[in-house]
Structure 1
């Protein structure tokens, strides 16, 4: 099997560095991508289409996409564009877009779900990094100090443009590939709250697996994370997905 790993917000392909060896030693091929505006592509302009193409440009027939956090948005729009190639999507402590809605509402809705002007930099184009203590509490509270320091050095500001563009993925809702969902029981990221994640499991039509970890199991528990991903492939959801 070949796995494509898709990072979440503020992160890049680097975040999978500890996990990928768990797959290669089990005989699987593995590839981590950088979306534009992230990782080694941090200087590039980011759009939702750019996120999509970062996956579509490398996907091969039957590939398994593992999407973390905001990477669920990327994986979903990519699957809509390459619906016949995707073998499975694993949503790992992840998000699922709502048809016709942006990830962050520009106006209306819950203000807590919108980027705060005080948190924007680069002329409003990017969300600034969290203070160290907040980032550790959100992402890495069960990671070793060494891993935490390494990860914090690699974080980059999050582009806003892909998150305020309405999402339309009609082929995904009607013809979604097999998929699974892994929840992290000690996840402290608000977007991964229990109620929201259970709603996501209902929309996907899956029974989620639970992993005893923070929001970043690929760093804190890579072996256990790999086993959970492989186990999740055995209990896929199939058929249409609820668009919202």
Structure 2
């Protein structure tokens, strides 16, 4: 969201947004490196296909993710030249494929954590589907993972043009937190505009949120809207402006009701380091973003929102929310700790799923 969210014909901004992914050494035996890489590719393909199959079953209404709590709520300058997706290049060894059990510290005792339950909140236009790799890795590591569809997102049947407030947009998230039992807590993870959504939830249910993780996300202060936040960009985000299409559900003579994204620009804007198969999934799954919630200013108090520890995850190769904008958000509203995902685009759940997983596990252990 740069300063693209203006009015009428100008296209508004969007988006918001570390881990210390270490390279794993190759075998010292002759030929070991080649065998290791082939094995990694086979294992990666297996994890991907199993998770994707579960996702497709979920979207078709057959069954949710195996052992997953995934929820669905049916109802109500010159043009920039940027590097293409790295999907055609060899896999980066900064995010090697490991078995999920290897990603968890062997000394970690899940039962000793304040909570082992992650509640994953997607960004604007995305849905619960975007977390399928994160859900798979967390559950295989012994954690509980819940991904929700906000109103008008994912497979929720609501029309984005009919959503008139942030409270309406985040209702599935608030409903889930309200149903948690006494003493039960979650670690909230918000991506992109999902940062504004988890901020709203932290203010409403601080006693049910153990920690909050902002992944390249809108980390608002009181009195700010997501539009205010993204309008801080000194240089307009040309990619964002080119990708955004305003929708006028109430007529062309009325304010815009939603923002759609031009599918031809998604790769460069959101997925410049992501695998081609995930870009294909996104291109058929992304939905319009309701506009009124983006304009809404939050009221956040020290007693509620301020009582929850916040962690920010920087995405270094982000074309939607550039690193300098992320760092300005951090400076304006300092979190408890900042992490960086090297080599990640705006969608680390696709481009750096292993590194993102390690980081989430690390955050869960912080006392």
Q: How far apart in 1 are the matches of 2:171 and 2:260?
A: 25
Q: Does 1:194 align with 2:323?
A: yes
1:242 aligns to what? none
Q: Secondary structure at the match of 2:269?
A: helix
Report the more deviating stretch, 193-202 or 140-149: 193-202
2:152 aligns to what? 37
Instruction: Report the TM-score when normalising by structure 2.
Output: 0.57
1:128 aligns to what? 260
User: Would you say the 8 A contact 2:206–2:304 is kept in 1?
Assistant: no
User: Would you say the 8 A contact 1:209–1:232 is kept in 2?
Assistant: no
**Which of 77, 91, 102 is residue 214 of structure 2 equivalent to?**
91
CA offsets 1:118-157 (integer angstroms, 9 cap, x no match): 831143211121241x211111111221121111110111
The alignment yields a C-alpha RMSD, in angstroms, of 2.5
Q: Does 1:144 align with 2:275?
A: yes
User: Would you say the 8 A contact 1:93–1:184 is kept in 2?
Assistant: yes
Structure 2, unmatched stretches of 5+, are 1-115, 250-255
Cα offset, 1:194, TM superposition: 2.4
Greater Rg over alpha carbons, structure? 2
> Per the alignment, do residues 74 and 67 of structure 1 end up closer, same or farther by CA in structure 2, a change over 3 Å counting?
same
1:103 aligns to what? 226
Q: Secondary structure at the match of 1:76?
A: helix
Runs of 4+ in 1 over 4 A off after TM superposition: 108-113, 171-174
Q: How far apart in 1 are the matches of 2:303 and 2:151?
A: 23
2:286 aligns to what? 155
User: Would you say the 8 A contact 1:183–1:208 is kept in 2?
Assistant: yes
1:51 aligns to what? 169
1:9 aligns to what? 124
Cα offset, 1:51, TM superposition: 3.2
2:17 aligns to what? none
Q: Secondary structure at the match of 1:137?
A: helix
Q: How far apart in 1 are the matches of 2:341 and 2:233?
A: 29
Cα offset, 1:42, TM superposition: 4.8
CA offsets 1:168-208 (integer angstroms, 9 cap, x no match): 1225676331221111111111xx22233223333133331
Q: How far apart in 1 are the matches of 2:261 and 2:357?
A: 28
Q: How far apart in 1 are the matches of 2:325 and 2:221?
A: 12
Q: How far apart in 1 are the matches of 2:276 and 2:322?
A: 25
Q: Does 1:66 align with 2:217?
A: no
2:20 aligns to what? none
Q: How far apart in 2 are the matches of 1:225 and 1:3?
A: 13
User: Would you say the 8 A contact 1:182–1:229 is kept in 2?
Assistant: no
Q: Secondary structure at the match of 2:213?
A: strand
Q: How far apart in 2 are the matches of 1:21 and 1:109?
A: 36
Cα offset, 1:54, TM superposition: 2.0
Q: How far apart in 2 are the matches of 1:129 and 1:68?
A: 17
Q: Secondary structure at the match of 2:133?
A: coil
User: Would you say the 8 A contact 2:312–2:335 is kept in 1?
Assistant: no
CA offsets 1:76-96 (integer angstroms, 9 cap, x no match): 001100011101101111111
Report the more deviating stretch, 72-81 or 196-205: 196-205
User: Would you say the 8 A contact 2:204–2:304 is kept in 1?
Assistant: no
User: Would you say the 8 A contact 2:124–2:289 is kept in 1?
Assistant: yes
User: Would you say the 8 A contact 1:79–1:172 is kept in 2?
Assistant: no
Cα offset, 1:234, TM superposition: 4.6
Q: How many pairs align?
A: 229
Instruction: Report the TM-score when normalising by structure 1.
Output: 0.84
Q: How far apart in 2 are the matches of 1:24 and 1:172?
A: 33
